Chain A
Amino acid sequence: MDKTISSSRRHDLAAYLFLAPYLTLFAVFILLPFVYSLLLSLFRWEMVSLTPPRFIGWGNYAEALHSDYFWKAMWVTFKFVIMLAPMMLLLSLLAALGINACGAFRQPIYRAAYFIPALISVSVAGILWRWFYNTDFGLFNAYLSELGWRIPWITSSKLAIVSIVLMTLWWGIGGTTIILIAGLQGIPDSYYEAAAIDGAGRIHQFFYITLPQLRPILLFITVMNIIGSFQVFGQTFMITGGGPELSTRTMVQYIYETAFTNYRMGYGSAMSWLLFVVIGIFAVMQFRILKEQ
């Protein structure tokens, strides 16, 4: 009896020791920052000034909600998400369906080709597209000029965010496509065979078999896309720097500038929480909409 107790104690002790390194890091770099950031958001604190942090309650939140810059950045981010998310879903679904219908031997080649852009750093992707988009010597305008066109891809405050969305589609479509192909191939063939025997056409099969079967994956992809694209930063930072006229300055860039250029740590944290709340609302909405249908 004694022996089993001590051996199970030893077992638990070993289990905790195995867990300890990860849990320590998790506590210091996930849990602590989570709480710390909430506290920070209630303080006024300029890191470079000598004035110590001062508790101001909801002051930072009120400041953000009354700031035109905050709403501008939120609006830019929102526009980006609204343009990108549906296009990303639609295009990657079409790509996945298309690739899945191709000859089995050529499928891996197409899959790799669609995925390779997703492998590069946003900084490299940004460098490439900044060059392609350049109004004067960019690749796009070099070819378009032969038609007599000269498009201000990233120098027009109306067009710049659209150009960023286009570049992001190229950069990001691969990952979603791969997940969707796997989803398509996971649908049992017998479903389609049965439907074919019942005389269901291809379009019918798509709406009554493929889409419902893909729903959990579509839900996952949409939610992850929404969470990711609300945090867009690298593309705009690299290609437009937030310009022209702040037309591409996203929330994360504004937070980045607030905290690490102006060192307003409290205000930056408050805006992080506001963005977190917006992302949360959208993610939950997606869950509701796609789950209920």
Chain B
Amino acid sequence: MAEQRISSIPQWKKSRVQWLIEIIIALGAILMILPFFIALLATFKPETEIIQFEGVFPRDWTLINYQKIFENSEEIPVIRWLFNSILISSSITILVVFVTSMAAYSLSRLRPPGGRAAFTLIVATIMIPGQLFLVPVYLILNFLHWLDTPLALIVPAASGAFGVFLLSQFFYSIPKDLEDAAEIDGCSIWGVYWHIVLPLMKPALSTLAILTFIGSWNDFLGPLVFLDSTTQLTLPVGIALFQTSYFIEYGITLAASAIATFPAIVIFLIFQKQIIKSISLTGLKG
């Protein structure tokens, strides 16, 4: 594709310009990735080498930072935070997938009276900046006695309009024939949803699930405001709070950060194509 676009440029010039562009892009790519390597390598350094920077590579390779994480589970409960993060992000993902897929199915296929108005209202809230909800949602969660429990993060997460919007867009692209046929065959609406719609929606649902999981895994403000006790925190917020409020060794924080980052990167590398496609789509549809 790119070849055709610049066909007006003479052959020798084209390759030279193209190589120059590619070299700049490659250097940029290295620059983007470099911080990860530097930080990852630093987790294998003893603390003295981190504070007294001498080079990117460790002089004395050590696993002491990771060891300390597992040994000091009383002081810095990284394993507990990891468990909390997994529990919260998975619950959010499952809840969001079910609740929003049912809503999107109803709004774009079953179309009850008033459905259009509801859809417009729901989609309009996407543009409201999240900071506006911070104080009132805190007070509502306080009223429900959900603060400082996983529920404080899990339940409100399923109210977001993004999923409904994304899945409704998807419904426009698949034909209704199959659902109609099933309904004529005497399938109940629930049966149609469960046996036909959900399997059909698999690509869109997995996109939503991946984006939701990564988003909630990395969420910062939510856990910071709605959780309080050390044992309840999620991994990213746990390390953040410990680093800013206590004197804690850099090596340990960096090692814990590596553990916190690992799942998101692995998920990305596995589902790369799908993630990139879905992010592109959200941009193009908007």
19 pairs from A and B in contact (CB 8 Å cutoff): A11-B189, A15-B112, A19-B103, A19-B112, A21-B102, A32-B140, A33-B137, A104-B2, A108-B272, A114-B32, A128-B39, A131-B42, A178-B283, A179-B282, A193-B7, A233-B131, A234-B221, A275-B129, A276-B131
B114 nearest CB neighbor, chain A only: A16
Q: Which residues of A contact B76 (CB under 8 A)?
A: none
Checking B118, B140, B240, B284 against A33 with a beta-carbon cut-off of 8 angstroms, the contacting residue is: B140
A255-272: which residues lie under 8 A (CB-CB) from chain B? 255-256, 259-260, 265, 268-269, 272
B159 contacts chain A at the CB level, 8 A cutoff: yes
In the complex formed, the residue of B with least CB distance to A175 is B279
Say yes or no: A19 contacts B135, CB within 8 Å: no
Cβ contact of B240, chosen from A19, A126, A183, cutoff 8 A? A126
CB–CB B136/A18 < 8 A:
no
**Contact between chains at A40 and B135 (CB < 8 Å):** yes
In the assembly, what is the distance between CA of A111 and CA of B25, in Å?
Answer: 10
Query: Whole-angstrom distance between the alpha carbons of A16 and B269 in the complex?
Result: 39
B-contacting 9-mer, from A67-75, A78-86, A153-161, A217-225: A217-225
> Closest CB of chain B to A150's CB: distance in Å?
13
**Smallest Cβ distance from B155 to chain A, in angstroms?**
7
Given contacts A33-B136, A119-B264, contact A170 B32 (CB under 8 A): yes
* B interface residues with partner A (beta carbon < 8 Å): 1-2, 4-9, 18, 21-22, 24-26, 28-30, 32-33, 35-36, 38-39, 42, 50-53, 98-100, 102-103, 105-107, 110-113, 115, 118, 122, 125, 127-140, 155-156, 158-159, 161, 164, 189-190, 193, 214, 217-221, 225, 236-237, 239-240, 243-244, 250, 253-254, 257, 260-261, 264-265, 268-269, 272, 276, 279-284, 286
Chain A residues with CB under 8 Å of B38's CB are: 139
Closest to B85 in A: A121
Least distance between B152 CB and chain A CB atoms (Å): 11
Contacts of A255 in B (CB 8 A): 131, 134-135
- Is A170 in contact with B5, judged by CB distance below 8 angstroms? no
Separation in Å of the B122 CB from the closest CB of chain A?
A: 6
Residues of A near B118 (CB, < 8 A) are 19, 23
- Residues of A within 8 Å of B106, CB to CB, are 15-16, 18-19
| Chain A nearest CB, measured from B75 CB (Å) | 18
Give the residue name and chain of the A residue nearest to B217 (CB).
A121
A114 touches B28 (CB 8 A): yes
Query: Which B residues lie within 8 Å of A269 (CB)?
Result: 135-136
**Inside 8 A of B53's CB, which chain A residues have their CB?**
137-139, 142
Report chain A residues within 8 Å CB of B239: 123-124, 127
CB-CB < 8 A to A182: which residues of B? 280-281, 283-284
Please determine whether A29 and B137 come into contact, CB atoms closer than 8 angstroms.
yes
Contact B250 A98 (CB under 8 A): no
B133: chain A residues at CB < 8 Å are 29-30, 33-34, 37
Q: Does A26 contact B (CB under 8 A)?
A: yes
> Which residues of B lie under 8 Å from residue A33 when comparing CB positions?
132-133, 136-137, 140
Q: Does chain B have a CB within 8 A of A285? A: no
Q: Is the interface of A mostly helix, strand, loop or mixed?
A: helix
Q: Distance (Å) between the CB of B273 and the closest chain A CB?
A: 8
Contact of B102 (CB < 8 Å), options: A18, A126, A129, A275: A18
A 179-198 to B, binary, CB cutoff 8 A, 1 in contact else 0: 11111011001001100100
In whole angstroms, what is the CA distance A23 to B161 when docked?
Answer: 10
Nearest B residue to A275, CB-CB: B131
Q: Which residues of B contact A113 (CB under 8 A)?
A: 29-30, 32-33
Which chain B residues lie closer than 8 Å to A25 at the CB level? 99, 155-156, 158-159
Contact indicator B218/A120 (Cβ below 8 Å)? yes
A272 touches B135 (CB 8 A): yes
Among B98, B102, B161, B282, contact of A30 (Cβ-Cβ < 8 Å): B161
Question: With A29-B159, A131-B42, A259-B135 given, can you name 15 additional A-B contacts, CB distance below 8 Å?
Answer: A12-B112, A15-B110, A18-B105, A18-B110, A18-B193, A19-B103, A22-B103, A29-B137, A34-B136, A102-B21, A106-B22, A116-B32, A116-B36, A138-B53, A231-B130
Q: Are A98 and B35 in contact (CB under 8 A)?
A: no
- Asked if A98 meets B260 with Cβ closer than 8 Å, knowing A12-B112, A116-B268, the reply is no
- Considering the chains assembled together, what is the distance between the CA atoms of A237 and B224 in angstroms? 11
**In the complex, which residue of chain B has the Cβ closest to the Cβ of A217?**
B283
Please indicate the chain B residues that have their CB under 8 angstroms from the CB of A30 in the complex: 125, 128, 133, 159, 161
Query: Cβ of A128 and Cβ of B35 under 8 Å apart?
Result: yes
- Min distance, Cβ B256 to any Cβ of chain A, angstroms: 9
In the complex, A25→B257 CA distance in Å?
33
- Determine the chain A residues whose CB is within 8 A of the CB of B236 once the complex forms: 121-124
Report A84 CB to chain B, min CB distance, Å.
Answer: 16
The 3 closest A-B pairs by CB, nearest first: A179-B283, A182-B280, A22-B103
Out of B98, B105, B190, B218, name the residue touching A122 (CB < 8 Å). Answer: B218
| A113-152 interface bits toward B, Cβ cutoff 8 Å, 1 = contact, 0 = none | 1111101111110111111100001110010000000000
